[in-house]
Amino acid sequence: MVAFLEFEKPVAELEARVAELRGEGSPEARAEADRLAERAERQLADIYSRLTPWQKTIVARHAERPHFKDYVAALIDDFTPLAGDRKFGEDAAIVGGIGRLKGRSVMVIGHEKGSDTASRVRHNFGMGRPEGYRKAVRLMEMAARFGLPVVTLVDTPGAFPGIDAEERGQAEAIARATAACLDLDVPMIAAIVGEGGSGGAVALATANRIVMFEHAIYAVISPEGCASILWRGDNRGPDGSPAPGAGGGRPAPAGPSRAAEAAEAMKVTASDLKRLGVVDRIIYEPRGGAHRDPATAMARLGTAIAAELTALETQTPAALRAGRRAKFLAMGRAG
């Protein structure tokens, strides 16, 4: 059973009625169930054809979207995990190893959020610490030595902001991971599969080609973080009325309406980022999002990555480096 999101409630009600009618077993009930099932599909398609940036943010965070381990199981043959940064320890938020994608040997690195409470805590909700980014650098350098393309799967709210991470040089580790991406002599493909948050995402996404799922998001900060910074002292809602908690004393934090406003302004969606030249290809998801049909979503991702690798495999190391640098230096330039 798929967990329904708030804006999917009309579909949830229809699907609940369909299940009830199918349980009755009569020809009339089955016919009515088929009719309602078709209506639910149409309604789901209509909802997902006009999602707001904030709704896409919610979809990108859906707990049932595929995670790194799911992509590896579905797409990578003979995967051999590689652990540790050889300096401090092992970080479970960033996972990597060698395997074969459609017959081609690759180094795969990505964020793992976890799929239940215990695994989410173990993987720190996909928020990497310095040792995770240093491990990624080690694996990228290994890939370059053996001539293996690098594939990264990005799905993180951002790098971990805890005191222990700062003490071990979080910013420096992210910067070195970004530099390692730029210096690679081999093709690199990055896929934004869920959340692409801040430098924690860029450190694994400074690639020759960036592909992005239709309902993923990619931004320098979360919409909530942006809203909190911009409007923490402004307790008015979008219509100018006082927000809940407004009044005397300390200002209330920005609410969901402000986060939605921030998501709209930040251009976090795949279509916006494709238009701005930040991502190169949009991978369209099954109706209702990748969490409704993970197998199809993962197969589409594998096909897209393989196609991008094929397009890059004839380029020289110098051309790969130059193209990667030019791509990122061009971002944000007017006209």
In the chain, % of residues over pLDDT 90: 75
Look-up of token digits 């709209």 = 264
> How confident is the model over 232-248, as a mean pLDDT?
45
Residue 247 has a pLDDT of 39
Q: What is the rounded distance in angstroms from the CA atom of residue 197 to the CA atom of residue 176?
A: 17
The domain 58-330 belongs to what CATH superfamily?
2-enoyl-CoA Hydratase; Chain A, domain 1 (3.90.226.10)
Residue 268 has a pLDDT of 96
Instruction: Tell me the β-bridge partners of 212.
Output: 192, 282
Return the ∠ at Cα 149 (arms to 272 and 199), rounded to 5°: 45
Q: What is the rounded distance in angstroms from the CA atom of residue 78 to the CA atom of residue 97?
A: 10
Is 80 exceeded by the pLDDT of residue 60? yes
**Residue 253, CB-side half-sphere exposure with 13 Å CA sphere:** 7
Residue 3 has a pLDDT of 82
Q: What is the rounded distance in angstroms from the CA atom of residue 33 to the CA atom of residue 241?
A: 44
**Residue 322, CB-side half-sphere exposure with 13 Å CA sphere:** 5
Residue 256 has a pLDDT of 58
Task: Catalogue the long-range contacts made by 313-317 (C-beta closer than 8 Å, 24 or more residues apart).
Answer: 313/149, 313/187, 315/187, 317/185, 317/186
pLDDT tens digits, one per residue of 75-93: 999 999 999 999 999 999 9
Taking 3-state DSSP, the helix, strand and coil percentages for the chain, each rounded to the nearest 5, stand at 50, 15, 35
pLDDT tens digits, one per residue of 248-291: 344 445 555 789 999 999 999 999 999 999 999 999 999 999 99
